[in-house]
Amino acid sequence: MYSDFKTISTYYDALYVNDREYTPEATKVKELLTRNGVPLHTDLLVLACGTGGHIPYFKDDYHVSGLDLSEDMLDLARKKFPDVRFHLGNLIDFELETDFDAMICMYGSIGFVRTVDNLRASMKRIAAHLRPGGLALITPWSTVEDFQDNIVVNAADRPDLKIARMEQVRLKEPAIVEVTFHHLIGKNKEVTYHKQSMEIGLFSREEYLSAMADAGLQVVEEYTGTDVRGGVYIGKRAAG
């Protein structure tokens, strides 16, 4: 389901973690959580946390922890945030010893579950780890209704690291998107090339809403503004 992140984890932050994007995004997420009944300084789990890119934007306002399937990504997250608890786990079948007041899955990472059956299983695991009245905040990886083939291009230019990135995003088959990463990495006076492909599930709005409802999560808000890329589905576990 997940591709090898061993190589990409070494430069993920430089290429993908962007304060200009993450700051307004986190501000809006905190606003949405508060508006829907989750106060500050409660227990928050960041799902598919990767190298912990979103952790700094939440750790001062919540008792935050993270979960990811990639040990390589988590190794870096633990080095950056030794005071934060990180869990190794799969969105589809994770089992933790604690429950949470809120869970967030950002950056469209839910798409990595790939199939509708896995999406439904993930929502059930999320609901099972929420306290009564807790919230699940999910950003979709696009939707069937909105998806278009695309080529993404950007770069990182630091004194010790320079990266040129192109990603080809295409519909490989119905409900499956293939993303092929092409990265040129300049480091230590050498230039290397890294190519990586992964498949991502493309779900409809109704499939997201149905998976949440069937897991016992009442969808209390759909945010469609621009502060959070891709929008947000917010599901609440019943209070009793």
| pLDDT tens-digit readout, 103-132 | 999 999 999 999 999 999 999 999 999 999
Residue 187 structure tokens: 């480091």
* CB 117 within 8 Å of CB 206: no
In the chain, residues under CATH classification 3.40.50.150 are 8-143+203-237
Domain 8-143+203-237 has CATH 3.30.43.10: no
| Secondary structure letter of residue 147 according to DSSP | -
pLDDT value at residue 2: 44
Number of Cα atoms under 13 Å in the Cβ half of residue 129: 25
2-5 contacts: CB < 8 A, separation 24 or more? 2/69, 2/70, 2/112, 2/198, 3/196, 3/197, 3/198, 4/196, 5/70, 5/72, 5/73
pLDDT at 63: 98
Pick among 3.90.190.20, 1.10.357.10, 2.20.130.10, 3.40.50.720: CATH of 150-201: 2.20.130.10
Distance CA 104, CA 107 (A): 10
pTM of the model: 0.94
Number of other residues whose CB lies within 10 A of the CB of residue 196: 15
Taking the C-alpha atoms of residue 185 and residue 182, their distance in angstroms, rounded to an integer, is: 10
| pLDDT value of residue 4 | 63
Q: With contact defined as beta carbons under 8 Å apart, do 181 and 152 qualify?
A: no
d(CA 171, CA 182) in angstroms, rounded, equals 17
Kindly report the backbone phi and psi dihedral angles of residue 238, in degrees, each rounded to the nearest multiple of 5, phi listed first.
-55, 145
Which residue in 26, 51, 12 sits closest to 228, CA to CA? 26
As annotated, the residues of the chain forming the CATH 2.20.130.10 domain(s) are 150-201
Q: Which long-range contacts (CB under 8 A, 24 or more apart) does 87-96 make?
A: 90/1, 91/47, 91/48, 91/67, 91/118, 91/122, 91/125, 92/118, 92/121, 92/122, 92/125, 93/121, 93/125, 94/67, 94/125, 94/129, 95/125, 96/67, 96/129
In whole angstroms, what is the distance from residue 43 CA to residue 62 CA? 6
Predicted local distance difference test score (pLDDT) of residue 79: 97
User: For the chain, which residues score pLDDT lower than 70?
Assistant: 1-4, 240
